[in-house]
Structure 1
């Protein structure tokens, strides 16, 4: 079974349990904190290591997260560790956050531009996205500045990419010229 399927199933189970216990927001906070903790390379390697024993991993998880995380989250981690699925925890965290966003009708939109966007430009983009039905009513933006795109913007929504950058258009022209589309044969 693929990592995505495994992560999605475990994330759904945790989300369902959190909904039953009316504890979704607390568990979401725990999972977001856990995901941030996984940015620590050593903790990530420990989590994915087949060499480190179950008891050692459980002790480390208890040391780091117990008392800070909800009992449901800690129980979930315990189950994942006992089943030997801890290597999937970073993916499970990502899948949980994605499923939470779908549940709450939140679209995550990542925008890359050549120069920083103003609040007015972001609001205009928000209005157009909502009107287009590509996103939900609630949008969370993340932005990135990449001067190499020269101008325009690149918008990523979920697994969809909309590239309206000047760099892409130049690359298309370059490809067209290299294929002699604009050169007439004599």
Structure 2
């Protein structure tokens, strides 16, 4: 159910941003709001608190966004609170930002290596991923995991390209044991 709520509200905000021709502006505003919420987790506790009325929650949200977000983005967040869906707010935000990235052809990849990659290696990985995906740009999250021994593990969405030495050793071991 949570995914349906995230999608319904996130898609509504995305469609609104398209209709008003303000996709980038709304995305910037929503990113700022997401960062503020992440830096202040007690804010979500306040929005979910059962002893605080919806009207008080709406007032808090309006005060927080006053001068920081457009009327449409503020209206979206107020609508979420009025519907009692504030518990799903972060999922809605993530859905909206994902829709914006898809619209703008911006990919997201997780790259795991055995040791930290140099800037030149990162540039080569980014170039290759852009060629492979056809995206205009790509956001890459780099991680280090010495247990993969060498090579790279690249995850884009639900697709994984595992070219690590650990996987190659495991595959070879299985092949030897099965022969």
For normalisation by structure 2, the TM-score amounts to: 0.85
What is the number of equivalent residue pairs in this alignment?
178
In structure 2, the CA distance between the partners of 1:130 and 1:183, relative to structure 1 (3 Å rule), is: closer
Corresponding residue for 1:118? 118
Corresponding residue for 1:61? 61
Q: Is the 8 A contact 2:62 2:78 kept in 1?
A: no
Is 1:30 the counterpart of 2:2? The answer is no
Structure 1, unmatched stretches of 5+, are none
Q: Is the 8 A contact 1:106 1:140 kept in 2?
A: yes
The more displaced of 28-37 and 42-51 is: 42-51
- C-alpha RMSD of the superposition: 2.4
SS at match of 1:84: coil
In structure 2, the CA distance between the partners of 1:38 and 1:147, relative to structure 1 (3 Å rule), is: farther
Q: Is the 8 A contact 2:154 2:162 kept in 1?
A: yes
Structure 2, unmatched stretches of 5+, are none
Question: Runs of 4 or more off by more than 6 Å in structure 1?
Answer: none
Is 1:182 the counterpart of 2:177? The answer is yes
Deviation, 1:169, is 4.2
Q: Distance in 2 between matches of 1:130 and 1:158?
A: 15
